[in-house]
Structure 1
Amino acid sequence: MSGSPLIRRMALRAFDFSERSVRWGKRSQQRRVERWRERLPFIVACAITASVAWAIATHLFSHDLALFAPIAAVITVGLNHGQRAARAIEIGVGVTVGVGLGTLFVTLFGVGTWQLVVLIAASMSFATWLGAGNLITIQAAVQGIVVMTLFHGDDQGLTRVLDAVIGSSCAIAASLIMPTASLHRPRRAAAKALTEAAGTIDAICRALRENDEDAGRDVLARARRSESLMEPLRETSRESLASARFSALLRHRRGHAEELAALVAPLDRLLRNLRIVARRCAVALWRHEAVPETHRELLAGIADVLRDCAQELEQGHVPREVRGRLIELAERSAEFEIDRSLSAVVLLAQARSMIIDVLELCGMDSADAREAVPDME
């Protein structure tokens, strides 16, 4: 029985499952380590800044319980570089409102459940009346809660406000020295978007070649999902550019950060044009409109260029070398015959627009990129 085919098949399946589990576990661990490496500058900045703020409040100003100094420091470090000074002031205002109202409520009404309800509502309402944003409003409520529940028996309201000012000031000083964002993240986000765009184009060409209407609908849904790839790129580009501008340690990389930030606009236009191509592909398959093979070859050539661009970005370089191939594709497309099919015309026009987008992504000026795509004869 032990050597039966059924048991052997079960053993092989169990081995295959365990092997796949090990591979999945390794990939998951690699992603976790990579995520930790990307956040390491932020983690280090928070740890050092909070410790310095606590030390200043405790040893220099002799505050017994300098809770708000490290808290304000961590909150402020977590903000984007370009907003840090303004948000530090907001935190100070929020803490002042919360501490002041909390102290007043404890003095007049004592500590209790209904007092906490009224305090939270009053703190958030007063902050809103001042025209505060969500950050000030939440900080006012939080500090009021802390005063009522933890420090209702002392008279250290002004001390806590000073601690918050110390923490925020340390965070602002740290932003001028220590970077909290990596320049690798926008490159990887852009490379991921380009790789996905190339894969979507491949799927479009395959659906057109096989005349598969279901595949056309699938590729349209896939192209629409590509819009979600832009927000991580925009966010990481802003953070990296701000780090390069404000941090002394990254100031020499400012030019590279600006180059990465310049990828956002043309890549966004590229993905928008790609969604139009995918929609027209689905329409062409639904209407049984023929698309010339030359158009599919043009799209396939663009996909190959996008993959090479993604590889260049992964290696740390803004893509430059593919311009000649793009110009060659543009010149070749200018010789195509205008097809009677509306779908073929739209696909060709959008493919040529995508070539312009990729040329701009490769650092070419907008006017030069448009000039590099000749008019059709």
Structure 2
Amino acid sequence: MAKQRMSTRERLQLVDKSLLSRLKRVRKRLLPILQIGLAAGFAYFLARDVAGHPRPFFAPISVVIIIGMSGGDRVSKSVDMALGCVLGVLVGDLIFYRLGDGGWQIAVIVAGSLLIASFFSSSILVNNQAAIGAILIATIMPPGAEVTGIDRTVDAVIGCLVAMATIALIPQAPMSSARAEVSKVMGIVSSVLDDVATGIQNKDPQVIHEALDMIRGTQTGIDDLAAAIKSGEEASRVSPFLWGTRRYINSLARVIPPVDNAVRTSRVLARRAQVLVEDDDEATQTQVEILDQLSHVCLELSEVYDVNSRVAQAKVIPDCVNELRMAAQRAGMDIVPENAVLSAYAILAQTRSLIVDLLMVCGMSRESALAALVPTSTTPKYEPETFDFE
């Protein structure tokens, strides 16, 4: 009896709803939560017990805002947030403090804060945070409050300094989120290729249609991957504990373009496969086998990045390269059907491009990856390599 396959959507929904997946998400949040909690408490202690301010709420607020930043440019954004926070409190204290909290007063406070902040920085974060700080001064601490003057500006400065020191001295694993995104994206590509091969073999356009819908939603994952890499690069510059990881971070950063290309190539391949099946045209069994082979390689790469084991990577990556080289040697013009239609040739072209993308994900240069392909031109730019797979 033939094995019944789940669709791409069913597999991904099953993984997403699993308890293990939820526990992993909670575990990834433990260190950021610990960072924010300890830093907020320490900032409050410094502002109240050391600086002697009875209600230093701006100190922990600054910590939560800055450390809570995520994604690319985290450090530079944190600096902007710190500057905006301090500037907003300072402007609110010195200029707008006694205006009150009526409607026209808030309008004046917001417009005035943005205008003043624009002289210091063009950053939207700085300007918005300055306005927010001034609003807090006017509404939460109205005239006659116990704490006035420059105290709140000092509290904001304390909170910002504690937050930046926490980012440097208690760093998060800079590449954990990036590895998770690579694993997720490669897993999706694996599943899509598996469904495309199944759809071609069974002439089932619905399977390919579902796979195409799923891979169209992967751009967010690619953007998250780029942001995670950028955040890791910044963290490795700020934290002395991460200086030794710069080489690994740079190596992982080089994976982003070929992963992005692999997703785009798979998307085009799936579209052409859908046209092929809907037109009731044929692809050869060899083409289907190569797609299955590439699906297996993507799954192996997904698992390697998920477990984050140098030993596993050292073993699996060479195996993936050999498998891709074998696929590259099979992906010649002779594998398309006789009197093949355009879609069959398009699938072959995208298959060859995907092989190159995956070889680059494995660490090969573009020149070496192209040379691994069996030539389809009588004058190839890169001299074809020969391999002995026995």
TM over 0.5: yes
CA deviation after TM superposition for structure 1 residue 119, in Å: 2.3
Is the 1:41–1:182 contact (alpha carbons within 8 Å) kept by the matching residues of 2?
Answer: no
Listed one character per residue, the Cα deviations across residues 66-91 of structure 1 (whole Å, up to 9, x for unaligned) are 22122212222223585425642553
Contact in 1 for aligned 2:96/2:134 (Cα 8 Å)? no
Counterpart in the other structure of 1:174: 166
C-alpha separation between the residues in 1 aligned to 2:299 and 2:270?
Answer: 18
Residue 242 (1) aligns with residue 234 (2):
yes
Q: Are 1:115 and 2:108 counterparts?
A: no
Provide the aligned C-alpha RMSD in A.
2.8
> Which runs of no fewer than 5 residues in structure 2 stay unpaired?
1-13, 378-390
Determine the C-alpha separation between the residues in 1 that align with 2:208 and 2:46. Answer: 63
1:287-298 alignment to 2 at 5 Å?
287-298=279-290
- Tell me the CA shift for residue 105 of structure 1: 3.5
Change (3 A) 1:289 1:74: same
Partner in structure 2 of residue 8 of structure 1: none
Tell me the residue number matched to 2:32.
42
Match of 1:84 among 49, 72, 75: 75
Does residue 274 of structure 2 align to residue 282 of structure 1? Answer: yes
Amino acid at match of 2:343: S
Deviations 1:240-279 (A, max 9, x none): 3433343233333333333333221111000000011011
Q: Deviations for 1:286-330, whole angstroms, at most 9, x for unmatched residues? A: 322221221111111111111111122222144522111111110
Q: Trace 1:176-195 onto structure 2 (pairs within 5 A).
A: 176-195=168-187
Query: For 1:164 and 1:212, how far apart are their aligned partners in 2?
Result: 61
- In the other structure, the counterpart of 2:369 is 369
Q: 1:326 aligns with which of 317, 324, 327?
A: 324
C-alpha distance in 2 between matches for 1:335 and 1:56: 72
Q: TM-score, normalised to structure 2's length?
A: 0.80
Using the alignment, how far apart are the partners of 1:315 and 1:93 within structure 2? 40
SS at match of 2:221: helix
* Cα offset, 1:220, TM superposition: 2.6
Residues 33 and 359 of structure 1, relative CA distance in 2, 3 Å threshold: same
Name the CA distance, whole Å, in 1 between partners of 2:53 and 2:366: 58
CA distance in 1: counterparts of 2:187 and 2:87, whole angstroms: 49
Percentage of pairs with the same residue: 26
Determine the structure 2 residue equivalent to 1:343: 343
Partner residue in 2 for 1:162: 154
Q: CA deviation at 1:281?
A: 0.8
Deviations 1:82-110 (CA, angstroms, capped at 9, x unpaired) = 54256425533444245424653343x44
| Cα distance between partner residues in 2 of 1:241 and 1:104 | 39
Matched, 1:264 2:256: yes
* CA drift at 1:125: 5.0
Provide the rounded CA distance (Å) in 2 between the counterparts of 1:364 and 1:116. Answer: 59
When residues 42 and 124 of structure 1 are mapped into structure 2, their CA distance, relative to the original with a 3 A threshold, is same
Number of aligned residue pairs: 352
The one of 246, 254, 257 aligned to 1:254: 246
Q: In structure 1, what is the Cα distance between the partners aligned to 2:303 and 2:212?
A: 25
Q: Give the drift of 1:234.
A: 2.4
More moved, 275-284 vs 111-120: 111-120
1:333-357 per-residue CA deviation (whole Å, 9 max, x = no partner) reads 2363555321111111110111111
Residue 201 of structure 2 is aligned to residue 213 of structure 1: no
**Structure of greater Rg:** 1
Which amino acid is the alignment partner of residue 320 of structure 1?
Answer: I
Alpha-carbon distance in structure 1 between the residues aligned to 2:267 and 2:173: 31
CA distance in 1, matches of 2:228, 2:344: 37
Equivalent position of 1:63 in the other structure: 53
Q: Deviations over 1:202-237 (max 9, x none)?
A: 111111112223334333323322333323322333
Contact 1:111 1:148 in 2 (8 A): yes
Instruction: Give TM-score, length-normalised by structure 1.
Output: 0.83
Work out the CA distance in 2 between the residues paired with 1:226 and 1:74: 30
1:99/1:147 contact within 8 Å kept = no
1:299 maps to what in 2?
A: 291
Code of the aligned partner of 1:37: R
Q: Which runs of 5+ in 1 are unaligned?
A: 1-23
